[in-house]
Structure 1
Amino acid sequence: MALTPRLEVRQAQSLTLTPQLMQSIRLLQLSHLELNAFVEAELLRNPLLEREEGAPDDGAEAPERAPELSAYEDTVDHSDRIQSAGSIADGLDTAVENVFPEQVGQDSLSQTSVWPEGRGEGGEAPDLDQFVAARPSLSDHLETQVNLILKAPAERLIARALIDSLNEAGYLAGDLDAIAAQLGTDEAMVEAVLLKVQGCDPVGVFARTVPECLAIQLREKDRLDPMMARLLANLDLLAAHDLAGLARAVGADREDLADMLAELRELDPKPGRAFDGAPIEAVVPDVFVREGNGGAWAVELNSDVLPKVLVNRVYYATVTRKTRDATEKAFLTDCLQTANWLAKSLDQRAQTILKVATEIVRQQDGFLVNGIAHLKPMTLKMVAEAIEMHESTVSRVTSNKYISTPRGLYEMKYFFTTALASTSGGEDHSAEAVRHRIRQLIDAEQPADILSDDTIADMLKREQGIDVARRTVAKYREGMNIPSSVIRRRQKRALTATP
């Protein structure tokens, strides 16, 4: 049979992800902060989009309110009603210096504005945030001191390089030989400059290790004696809570060692953390769960974090009638389609979050009523099958989302845990509930009876029928930053023996 080229027509079905569909899927996994930033960008780009502003209910008259003064009227415009020093003195039939001695040669009360020139009548007041002093950074704080301590330009250049090598905690992250090679000098010169700048505020900066940082602070307090130096050289024993071995290495009795440790606790091992700190942002829940009537749970979305947009079709119709350019009409059509898609996608996103949160609350009713010990094992597949969605959709919806419950504020991912089999053949146990029980057992143990991982596994199997291996207990314990039984025994014995 000869091979010849030919044309064939075939019909086939395939699933194609359009850019709009891909964008809708991406919106599901955005947090409310990321979503609001995305919507703000769309509002700037699309002239047919506008935010939905709250309006009073129809038929309800708004109560009359006293006129409120704006920030400008309250702080600036009231100066028009203040009399000058000269007019006040004329009213009293005397000289200005007799009424306001400090105003001789000037008339500060006659000022009509405290803002820079160019500020017109009736304009907007300047943003007060522009006049708030900026928080100094660690590098700026140190550079100011370095300019006062060091006089030679070469030393200042080396100090600038040392400042650039500091990390957020204030420790010197770069090697002195690398800094010396970069600047074309010898390491001894860099070491000499380092010793000079180590006295800068905050005390302890430019240290290379934790013992050196603590030594600088103790030297500043004149408390770096030989015994304290030996203590700093054996901080590994302190980390292992081997107080007996630490006392022998330092050559101090238990009472002196306790006093020295108390001095160490007053020091700051991270002196640079007071600078360049980002403000703490509170977590805002996306969903609220409250007790409803009849013992049911009421699940509602947090409307404050949901962006509300409207499509201005009146503006679209007005502009479309007046334009004759094909490019402009195509642009308006594209903006209308994008605006409709965004409004629909935001509504679908809200409905999907509510549906997933409702199913989580339904399956974790025991946790909401009785606490973490009754947290049930739950997977993405279980929720996806219950609400007839794909697992990937549930995964995206629960990412970066928080739910507020009577038990506290939790990330939605918190409720998805693996299952541990029960020895009695009953319901499986949640891994998070097992972690909670392990922490309870360790917190209740006595110094004379420290529980090993094997003992904890046997207790879980005997008391609650949880089939868990020793290595699983060790993994959960390490995940909760709980030390081993050997270190816990040293810690608790040290606490009971400390006067």
Structure 2
Amino acid sequence: APAETSEAAPPPEAELSFADSSDSRSAAALDAPGDALYDAAPGERNEVQADNQPGIGDWSRAGKGGSFEHDDYERPDEHELTLVEHLQAQALLAGFTPAEHAVALSLIDSVDEGGYLRADLDEMAERLNITLERLEQVLHRCQGFEPAGVMARSVPECLKLQLIDRNRFDPAMAALLDNLDLLARRDLTALRKVCGVDQEDLAEMIAEIQGLTPRPGAGFGSEPAQTIIPDVFVRPDPAGGWKVELNSDTLPRLLMDKRYHAEVSASARSDLDKTFVADCAAQASWLVKSLDQRARTILKVASEIVRQQDAFMAFGVEFLRPLTLKMVAEAIEMHESTVSRVTSNKYIATPRGVFELKFFFTAAIQSSDGGATHSAEAVRHRIKAMIDAEDVTGEILSDDRIVEILQESGIDIARRTVAKYREALRIPSSVERRRMRKAA
């Protein structure tokens, strides 16, 4: 299983009076997977065991109509949006490449209820097999999400992000944030000196600082934090390749009590009673077999995903292959809708971290020469690299010219797709880039 990440100590907050310093809790509450394998072995024990579900021996205690009085099963959960869910929704719209999106999700998973980033960036970069510089680039874009100040690594950085959002960050403010200890001690004379301002300006700056919040995530829904428990583990196989296993610790144990069934059957006198008992036994057997088949399907789908994304497991997010539900469904000879259901809310622990199974499905772009398809991520990176190289080549590439270059390389792509990828990367059009160069 992946190594647990220890939580870092809270940021050293200066003893100031902030406008919003409520201590409401907000955490990412991700549902632990519910469908898992179990011991489907009738006769192993003479009792019915089930996690949070009635066994055959409990049916006599059911209420009228055979229903159980569990409001949780009849009432939909009232769910208030959490900070992590809010950030994940923004990440989907941020124009990230699939690789960058994976990095962003890893960063978001490390955000605490106050909105601070609790992660060792060096360790995360090594785990995801990317450079620290690229990880920080993704973090910088994530720090532009709402609420302002989120994903900061310290109180000064949190306040700085909020000031930048208000367009109020300048060298004097930077000096003030670097010396919050002086402000906490109310050493205003020293503060005026380091900030290079007079008493009136300093008073305005302090008032502005006190109008910020040191806990930008405190206003979001509060739910008990739950650890994501993976349904599947992927480990390197000493013989080569990868070993895919279901997580036995999360698998409910369901057995049919044959002794109790025999007792009830023997005491049944009327045909109606005998039919009822036989019906109950048939339903129990069907449930055991269905859950067993469900678990086998999860393992089968996960194994195919690992086979298709072998390069990702070995080398990191840059090597995600184009993969669709249809491709997996055809490979394992199942319906596409079955694969879609199996991969929903299921998590897999890999050497690169814990991911939802749906994470591994990425778009594909066809090859113009009939060869292998290209992942959308790789094409986006190539477009960005071509535009980044304009400063060296001196040529401003239009979208049409980029299409020509990609088609010469065997990538069949439309102009509108290039424009969409460019806009998602937040790159101006060729006309705007040409104007920017002339202005520079």
> Shorter-normalised TM-score: what interval?
0.3 to 0.5
Name the structure where helix makes up a greater proportion of residues.
1
Higher relative contact order (CA 8 A, sep 6+): 2
TM-score if structure 2 supplies the norm length? 0.47
Larger Rg: 1
TM-score if structure 1 supplies the norm length? 0.42
